[in-house]
Amino acid sequence: MKIVDGVYRIRLFPSSVYLVEDEKLILIDTGVPGYTSRILRYIRKMGRNPKDIGFIVLTHYHIDHIGNARRLKHITGGKVVAHEIEAPYIEGKQRAWKDGRIWWTRLLLWIGHMVFRKCFTKVDIKLRDGDKIGNLKAIHVPGHTRGSIALLDERRGIMFPGDTVPYTLAYMRLKKGPNPYSWDVDKECKSFEKLAKFDYELLLPNDSRIVTRRGAEFVRQFVHHMCKSKVDTR
């Protein structure tokens, strides 16, 4: 699905991924394991070669975002990119389940770590807040995970928030309190406020509907509500 010139969304379940045309193709996240062929087919359908992928940027370590990174790296030669804090999780060196805020999220993280070990992959480029990959600026937004990042395309006026925004909005609307999958609710709140300070029209999350106009304003409307409504769901 073409969003604007040079930006495409590949619909996967449960998390979609994005392709951004830059000097090299940039793939943002990779979905759960099993979608490698579908991603490659989409790239060919665009008239591009999978070898055109220069960077595979992972917004955080959850399996619905890193699931095909290892295979895609092998096939395309693209470099895997993530925040430096997130790298040990993506490489399988850090015990992710220790960051679960609730007992059942710790269990799910443990199961994911054990079942999907073959998905772990080396991170070639380790980012810090403000670093750039092509025209995409990395914004460190801890909370959902320790090393979560959002990506800002200032030239196109697009924010790719990863999972920092969509789950939060869904849980607030359902009045179920903060995202149970998030590592730290207070930090997530501050990261939400951080995203609200940038200017962008389009908000392109992985797991929910896209916002095609006044994206920054859309985020700002929820900042006060989110930070005021935090509820411990343990």
In a domain? residue 211: yes
Q: Decide if 136 is inside a domain.
A: yes
Q: Which domain CATH number covers 96?
A: 3.60.15.10
Count the domains in the chain.
Answer: 1
CA neighbor of 162 nearest in space, from 231, 230, 208, 217: 208
Residue 7 lies in a domain: yes
| pLDDT for 164 | 81
- The answer to whether residue 207 is domain-embedded is yes
Question: Which domain range does residue 119 map to?
Answer: 2-228
Q: What is the pLDDT of residue 103?
A: 65
Q: Is residue 120 part of a domain?
A: yes
Instruction: Flag residues of the chain having pLDDT under 70.
Output: 100, 103-104, 166-180, 224-234
The predicted pLDDT at position 231 comes to 40
Is residue 233 included in any domain, yes or no?
A: no
**pLDDT at residue 221, as a whole number:** 77
Looking at residue 225, what is its pLDDT?
Answer: 66
Q: Looking at residue 166, what is its pLDDT?
A: 57
| pTM (2 d.p.) | 0.89
Specify if 71 maps to a domain.
Answer: yes
Query: Does the residue 234 lie in any domain?
Result: no
Q: Residue 158: name the closest of 140, 173, 139, 141 by CA.
A: 139
Residue 211: the pLDDT is 85
